[in-house]
């Protein structure tokens, strides 16, 4: 297979296989695992990733919204799918037709689902979402709201057109082991257990219990319960630097580009919009066809670096919409058409999403997610291209 080599992202499916084995080695055989493939598999492409996870023995898939769930079905995913967030009651027929489970995020949501499902003469399946401290969505479990939430969930369990098949929560700081964060995480554990026990004592069948996100999966094995949710670790990245050494992973994505032009610029030359970079001496400057329209953040201007022929080349001047410049003065062999590693590793040189996140003051999760559809995803196994997704050319091979 061939593709236009402007700027692209290579997805290493062998690395995904490696991560699957590493993740499952952290779990007991009886524990199920849910692959979190929301946001187009964190920007990696949900079709190829989810099919590999399904073949690798993952039991469930987690998505952000019903459209993502429908996309997985179109990609040949047959395993159960859970929408982790709110789904409008108007979607109950689609949920049932597509065999997609939705999160039940509150009593008003449950009542609207019951009304819509009854009108459509269907039974919609849902996992009860508990808010144990994230304060986002879910039935509240703090002391002040516990009794009312218990009463509300019991009401849901008696709805004829809503079937509870699971219960879950999400941890806010399970990736941090400093200060009072571990205490907060343990408080979330306790709130979850208290509600589950109270529901079971009331005769409610809660179904699958799951609270382990990526950080909990690798740091708190006692909290795997019935199922773990594998998110960022699936893609070979850690939830935080505090998780270093807890699991062996390989990054899936390498972002590459090419040199479009190399020019000599004399000392005193000013580069790009705003003239924010001035060459102190004569320099060789290469133009790279990647910019913020591809998801390369403008705040990386004059701060990031790329790798050319195994050597670092700093980004100089402001990042433009479609192009940027790097200094290749110390790489005399650099020429037009040469490959550039934007994010990735070459020998002992690396510039990762973690490195980029440190510059931007954000987290590694964000950066592959914002890589735009203009950047083709190129899938490789055993060093060979096995698939290409190019949304601009509408090519899905």
For residues 219 and 356, membership in a common domain is answered with no
Q: DSSP letters of 165-195?
A: EEEE---SSTT--STTHHHHHHHHHHHHHHH
CA distance 269 to 323: 18
Residue 21 lies in a domain: no
Q: Could you tell me if 162 and 262 lie in one domain?
A: no
Question: What percent of the chain is predicted at pLDDT more than 90?
Answer: 97
The domain in which residue 274 lies consists of 253-396
Domain assignment of residue 111, yes or no: yes
- What pLDDT score was predicted for residue 3? 87
Q: Which residues are annotated as a binding site?
A: 136, 321
Number of separate domains in the chain: 2
CA–CA distance, 327 with 331 (Å, rounded to integer): 9
Among the listed residues 21, 151, 263, 273, the single catalytic one is 273
Q: pLDDT confidence of 257, banded at 50, 70, 90? A: very high
Looking at 26, 38, 256, 305, which residue is catalytic?
38
Mean pLDDT of 20-26: 97
Q: Are residues 139 and 261 in the same domain?
A: no
In the predicted structure, residue 1 carries a pLDDT above the cut 90: no
CATH of the domain at 314: 2.40.37.10
Calculate the average pLDDT of the chain: 98
Which helix H or strand E contains 339, and what residues bound it? strand 339-346
Please check whether residue 18 lies inside any domain of the structure. no
For residues 169 and 131, the answer to whether their CB atoms sit within 8 Å is yes
Q: Which long-range contacts (CB under 8 A, 24 or more apart) does 75-83 make?
A: 75/46, 75/47, 75/50, 75/51, 76/47, 76/51, 77/50, 77/51, 78/54, 79/54, 82/34, 82/127, 82/166
The yes-or-no verdict on residue 316 having pLDDT over 80 is yes
Same domain, 259 and 348: yes
Q: How confident is the model at residue 395 (pLDDT cuts 50, 70, 90)?
A: confident
Task: Give 314's strand partners.
Answer: 305
- Tell which wins on pLDDT, 394 or 146: 146
**Annotated binding residues for substrate, as ranges?**
136, 321
Residue 17 lies in a domain: no
Q: Is 38 a catalytic residue?
A: yes
Residue 23 lies in a domain: no
263 carries an active-site annotation = no
360 assigned to some structural domain: yes
Are 259 and 331 in contact by the 8 Å Cβ rule? The answer is no
User: What is this structure's pTM?
Assistant: 0.96
């Amino acid at each position: 297979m061939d593709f236009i080599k402007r700027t692209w992202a290579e997805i290493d499916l062998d690395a995904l296989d490696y991560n699957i084995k590493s993740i499952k080695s952290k779990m007991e055989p009886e524990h199920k695992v849910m692959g979190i493939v929301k946001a187009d598999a964190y920007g990696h492409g949900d079709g190829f990733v989810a099919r590999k996870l399904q073949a690798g023995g993952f039991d469930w898939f987690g998505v952000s919204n019903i459209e993502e769930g429908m996309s997985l079905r179109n990609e040949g995913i047959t395993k159960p799918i859970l929408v982790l967030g709110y789904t409008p009651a108007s979607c109950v027929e689609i949920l049932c037709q597509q065999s997609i489970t939705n999160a039940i995020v509150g009593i008003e949501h449950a009542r609207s689902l019951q009304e819509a499902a009854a009108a459509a003469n269907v039974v919609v399946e849902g996992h009860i979402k508990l808010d144990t401290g994230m304060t986002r969505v879910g039935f509240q479990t703090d002391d002040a709201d516990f009794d009312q939430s218990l009463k509300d969930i019991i009401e849901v369990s008696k709805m004829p057109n809503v079937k509870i098949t699971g219960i879950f929560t999400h941890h806010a700081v399970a990736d941090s082991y400093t200060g009072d964060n571990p205490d907060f995480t343990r408080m979330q554990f306790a709130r979850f257990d208290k509600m589950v026990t109270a529901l079971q004592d009331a005769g409610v069948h809660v179904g699958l219990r799951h609270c382990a996100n990526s950080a909990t999966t690798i740091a708190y094995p006692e909290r795997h319960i019935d199922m773990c949710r594998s998110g960022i670790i699936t893609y070979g990245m850690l939830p935080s630097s505090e998780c270093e050494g807890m699991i062996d992973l390989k990054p899936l994505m390498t972002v590459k580009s090419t040199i479009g032009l190399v020019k000599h610029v004399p000392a005193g030359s000013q580069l790009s919009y705003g003239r924010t970079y001035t060459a102190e001496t004569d320099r060789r400057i290469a133009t790279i066809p990647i910019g913020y329209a591809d998801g390369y953040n403008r705040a990386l201007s004059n701060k990031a670096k790329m790798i050319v022929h195994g050597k670092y080349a700093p980004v100089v001047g402001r990042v433009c919409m479609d192009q940027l410049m790097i200094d290749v003065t110390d790489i005399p062999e650099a020429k037009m058409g040469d490959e550039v590693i934007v994010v990735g590793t070459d020998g002992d040189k690396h510039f990762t999403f973690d490195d980029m996140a440190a510059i931007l003051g954000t987290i590694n999760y964000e950066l592959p997610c914002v890589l735009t559809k203009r950047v083709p995803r190129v899938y490789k196994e055993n060093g060979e291209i096995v698939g290409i997704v190019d949304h601009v050319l509408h090519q899905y091979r």
